[in-house]
Structure 1
Amino acid sequence: MKLNSHDQNAPENPPTPQREVGDVFDFIVCGAGSSGSVVAARLAEDGNASVLLLEAGGDDAAETVTNPAQWPLNLGSSRDWGFVGQPTPGLDGRRLPLSMGKGLGGGSSINVMVWARGHKGDWDHFAAEAGDDAWGYQSILGYYRRIEDWQGAPDPTRRGMGGPAYVAQPQAPQPIAEALLSAASTIGIPVYDSPNGEMMEAPGGASIAELRIRDGKRESVFGSYVSPLMSRPNLTVLTNALVTRLIFDGKRVTGIEVLVDDRLRQFTARCETVLSLGAINTPKVLMQSGIGPEDELQAHGIPVVQHLPGVGRNHQDHLAFGCTWAYRKPEAVGGSGCEAKLYWKSESRLAQPDILQCQLEFAVPSPIETGLETPQHGWTMFNGLAQPKSRGRLRLSGPNTNDPILIEPNSLSAPEDMAAALAAVELCRELGNSDAFTPLVTGEAAPGARYRSGTIDFIRRSAVTYWHQSCTAKMGRDSMSVVDNELKVYGVDGLRIADSSIMPRITTGNTMAPCVVIGERAADLIRKMHSLPDLSGGLTQPT
């Protein structure tokens, strides 16, 4: 069986009312985002295992979710956790809004829909850290072939067709997207037919973006994986269900405590519990349940179940510095507004790209601290760091569910990051001011020509998040690792983590696609351990 979000026979059943939900399941998956949706669907698809999928947010029925162009309206809404970072010295003391999806589909229901699979070097780094070649690039290609329903030119080695995740490039990209490819080619950056595949085995390049948009509508990961199974009696999806803590028998997780519509309930997992709450809430639930740095837990009066000093550490995110040009006349916006991507190196000696550029076909306002005016009509290069060296951390403010987590991004604290940021802005200005854009723009609005010190000021005052927080419960084998190569939490039984928090380091590009891989990998490991049939078609190796 292959999951398919375009199954016309799949009923549009809503999530189950809580009064009808039992207390005991084989598996409990916490979080219906880009990883949790995959885990729940793969465990439930054969019909033998009972699965409970919990989501703190609501449904995914809003126009702001289904309409690709309306994604910015979700930021700061009820579909956004609305996290805010602590004052950050590297950002001139600013506090960054750190949006994260809340609702069925998680980030995949409010993001820009870009499908970016990560660089070969990312996955080989995962394999080295985990001591397991199953996380390496050649193995991960097999997962992508299983996952994708790729609509472009066939590439049997690298691309999949017929999988649950519809992936396509815009049929008629806007002129501004084509101009970026022309500008890149002029300065010696190779242009590829796809930003995934061969380009992600190379030093970088430029390409038309790949998006999760079908027939003008968003396809979330929940929609692709879980929606076709909603009529199955062995799958229960519960919304407005906030996971508050894990329940233990000794050092084994036996279930969870959940606040469901303001009512506290407990659910038992016969086999395993999976945390897929994202890089902020997964560490929070771990720590408030007694898994984490013992000194921090003890400071808040939380009994220590397992000392794991890496919980909440190693926080990483992609930073962006918006470089903007004014249009000569208003131009149309295609799809989600992002139709072209570019990855490149700040230094030739680097092993893989460390600059990430996502072209937006509208003018993004610069933070007020920059003092720059935003043109009414224009385009912005969301231009930033693909491989940041700065590391942040999360701290508890208290032991209770309503005590907010303190996010310390520590952005631009590593000197290498400022050097890469300067190179990224210089590259962006070289591209944007090239002849390829002359027919479309009147001139540069941000940052404009500056001395080095002025450019540094612009970077510190303009930096915003790409909304790719990750790495706060990393996979590995050192003392700061939280999960092993099978995503099991060290020192704890019956518990795995499957979301962006397990990344040893952030992947190159948008993180949705790697999170789908993490979900597939977790489901494979769980199925194998509990002897569940594999109906996904298995993994074929490259020919």
Structure 2
Amino acid sequence: MEADYVIVGGGSAGSTLASRLSEDPDVTVCLLEAGGRGDGLLVRAPAAVVAMLPGRPKINNWAYETVPQPGLNGRRGYQPRGKGLGGSSAINAMLYIRGHAKDYDEWAALGCEGWDWQSVLPYFRKSENNERGDDALHGAAGPLQVSNQKSPRPITDAFVKAGQSLQIRHREDFNSGDNEGIGHYQVTQFHRDDRNGERCSAAAAYLHPVMDRPNLTVITRAQASSVAFEGKRAVGVHYSQGGRAHMVRARREVILSGGAFNSPQLLQLSGVGRPEDIRPHGIDMVHELPGVGQNLQDHLDFTLAYKSRDRDNFGISLPGSVSLLRHIWNWRKTGRGMIATPFAEGAAFLKTDPNDERADIQLHFVISIVDDHARKLHMGHGFSCHICVLRPKSRGSVGLNSADPKAAPRIDPQFLADPEDLAVLIKGVRKTRQIMAAEPLAGYADKELFINDEPDDAALEQHIRARADTIYHPVGTCKMGTDPLSVVDPSLRVHGLQGLRVVDASIMPRLIGGNTNAPTIMIAEKAADIIRGASARD
């Protein structure tokens, strides 16, 4: 089989890119995805994420683990990643966040010309079909439906008012370029027609509606094993499906969109990267590129949790089970109710130091008790609040565990390797506990779980090292730039090779200050224009 463009990975970036490139009827596109179609009921029903996220069993989820983390008392971190069309946008909390304008201006200052805020804003707008309509910051004609929450719980309103009582500004729009404040998240959720209230994954937005294009071939259950090279030029992709080996040739380009873990893994499996990461596994070197798999950054997160007598949230109880059946019926009929929830309903971006120019912590207020990624359950009802460090200084890496393409990559985030990350997180936990203790939210709390006193910094450090983990935003392992450790240039072409690009969150030189799904879609939108422009010049 042959195609002009072969894309590996049908997640947020791959779905977007395959759709946009195949808009041109004169080119052919082949998309390889290791998972399934990503259109089942568990994906479509937002609250059903609780069945997929824990990875027990692995439903639409790679459910990776890190190597033991010294900064987390030697614990292995959990790294859920979406498996199927839509990727992690099929199993995430649907939160639509872009980050801060200065995040992108920093990319440009690091040598990524054309990736400053004013240059990427048109691609955010292009992707959006925002329920609030079209204006200078938002679009209303794009494939990705962005919605106000359908039925936020009263307890989330109490969280917002508690923050306001502490003089935290209310923010209606967290995506204007400045996100400091407290309010409700917007979500990637259908707000029109018969799908109202369903999750709008990247595949649901971009790919599923165009699967019948004659110039687009989507192959699911296809595990990529390596990029095929002729000299220094990528000419195709080897993959397996149903126990049989296949190859699809690329007449123009191979594009990797596997994400921050799988894109560097596939490069290393293909002999591209650092010799010390590749040769020990018996893989021949094709091209030495020292940045492959380096520069891993992720948002380390710590969660506060509280028991509550309030039953208008998710919990484990007989009344809660009866209420859940009613909410399922309501969602099927109207698209509203608790089944439409993103769980993380309340948002806050805060400064731990008032002299900082940007918020350095992010809060996700959740209408249930969250413990170990919902892998530990608690009887009764309650609520939680995540606190994450937005711009961590710690840097990790991704490598190979073996030459087997089906083996999980070796993931080492090096959480808390830089002591500044711990210091910011401690201040963030203290600031968040003030919000949780403020009225009217305080009236909802029966008792706090995990922390039962006013801990000093040493005690908080122990709590953090014992319980903190990712909030699912790994980036940076094929970073964009012009320095010796960059993997791709500002046009996302792999340095030193021909016919090969990387288009996904791995190209971010620095982690943006917020959730990474909307920026990943933006990257793919911009990449489509870059690729079309290169094709027109050829």
**TM-score, normalised relative to structure 1:** 0.90
Task: Give the equivalent residue in structure 2 for 1:164.
Answer: 143
The DSSP-based 3-state class of the residue aligned with 2:12 is: coil
Alignment of 1:8-407 (within 5 A): 23-75=1-53, 76=55, 77-132=58-113, 134-152=114-132, 154=133, 156-197=135-176, 200-201=177-178, 204-214=180-190, 215-332=196-313, 334=338, 335-365=341-371, 374=378, 376-407=380-411
CA shift for structure 1 position 409: 1.4
3-state SS of paired residue (1:530): helix
Partner Cα distance (1:304, 1:61) in 2: 39
Shift, 1:360, TM fit = 0.7
Instruction: Give distance in 2, aligned partners of 1:401 and 1:434.
Output: 51
Contact 1:167–1:211 (CA<8 Å) still a contact in 2?
A: yes
Q: Pick which of 173-182 and 294-303 moved more.
A: 294-303
Q: Secondary structure at the match of 1:314?
A: coil
How far did 1:155 drift? Answer: 6.0
Residue by residue over 1:287-311, the C-alpha shift from the partner in whole angstroms, topping out at 9 and shown as x without a partner, is 1111101232223332222111111
How far off its partner does 1:91 sit?
0.2
Closer/same/farther in 2, CA of residues 478 and 232 from structure 1, 3 Å limit = same
Aligned pair partner of 1:435 in 439, 442, 446: 439
| Number of corresponding residues | 504
Judged with a 3 Å threshold, the aligned counterparts in structure 2 of structure 1 residues 243 and 177 are, in CA distance, closer, same or farther, namely same
Query: Relative to structure 2, which stretch is displaced further, 185-194 or 98-107?
Result: 185-194
Q: Does the CA contact (< 8 Å) of 1:367 and 1:462 recur in 2?
A: no
1:29 aligned counterpart, secondary structure = strand
Check the 8 A contact 2:223/2:406 in 1, yes or no. no
Q: Distance in 1 between matches of 2:447 and 2:516?
A: 32
> Cα offset for 1:354?
1.4
Question: Separation in 2 of the partners of 1:367 and 1:58?
Answer: 23
> What is the Cα-based RMSD across aligned positions, in Å?
1.9
Check conservation: 1:35, 1:519, Cα contact below 8 A. Answer: yes
8 A contact 2:50–2:374 mirrored in 1:
no
Structure 2 letter corresponding to 1:340? G
Matching residue of 1:447: 451
Give the structure-2-normalised TM-score. Answer: 0.90
Q: Is the 8 A contact 2:365 2:384 kept in 1?
A: yes
Cα distance in 2 between the residues matched to 1:74 and 1:493? 38
Q: Aligned partner of 2:178: which letter?
A: E
Q: Distance in 1 between matches of 2:174 and 2:452?
A: 28
> CA offsets per residue over residues 83-134 of structure 1, 9 Å max, x none?
10011010000001111000011001111111111211111112222341x2
Amino acid of the structure 2 residue aligned with 1:164: P
Cα deviations by residue, 1:259-297 (Å, 9 ceiling, x for unpaired): 112111011000111000011110011011111012322
Contact 2:120 2:526 (8 Å CA) reproduced: no
Distance 1:303 1:348, change over 3 A: same
CA distance in 1, matches of 2:150, 2:92: 20
1:4 alignment partner in structure 2: none
Provide the C-alpha distance between the structure 2 equivalents of 1:513 and 1:295, rounded to a whole number of angstroms: 34
Deviation by residue 1:117-169 (Cα, 9 ceiling, x = unmatched): 1211111112222341x2110111111111111112x5621111111111011
- SS for the counterpart of 2:464 is helix
Distance across 2 between alignment mates of 1:143 and 1:246: 29
Report the alpha carbon displacement of residue 443 of structure 1 after superposing the two structures with TM.
3.2
Q: Using the TM superposition, give the Cα deviation of residue 489 of structure 1 relative to its aligned residue in structure 2, in angstroms.
A: 0.3
Alignment partner, residue 499 of structure 1: 504
Give the conservation status (yes or no) of the 8 Å contact 2:33–2:219: yes
SS in 2 for 1:286: helix
**Structure 1 residue 386: deviation in Å?**
1.3
Aligned equivalent of 1:15:
none
Same amino acid, percent of matched pairs: 35
Q: 1:342 to 1:66 in 2, by over 3 A?
A: same
Residue 374 of structure 1 deviates from its aligned partner by 4.8
Counterpart of 2:6 in structure 1: which amino acid? I
Amino acid at match of 1:185: Q
Q: Which position in structure 2 is the counterpart of 1:18? A: none
1:366–1:374 contact (8 Å) kept in structure 2? no
SS of match in other structure, 2:380? coil
In structure 2, what is the Cα distance between the partners aligned to 1:304 and 1:320? 37
Map of 1:388-537 to 2, 5 A cutoff? 388-449=392-453, 450-531=455-536
Conserved 8 A contact 1:326-1:375: no
- Mapped to 1, the partners of 2:392 and 2:379 lie a distance apart of 30
Residue deviations 1:21-50, cap 9 Å, x none?
Answer: xx0101111111110111111110122111
Task: Deviation per CA, 1:185-242: give whole Å up to 9, x if none.
Answer: 1222211112222xx325x111211111222211110111112211111011110001
**CA distance in structure 2 between the aligned counterparts of 1:82 and 1:409, rounded to whole angstroms:** 15
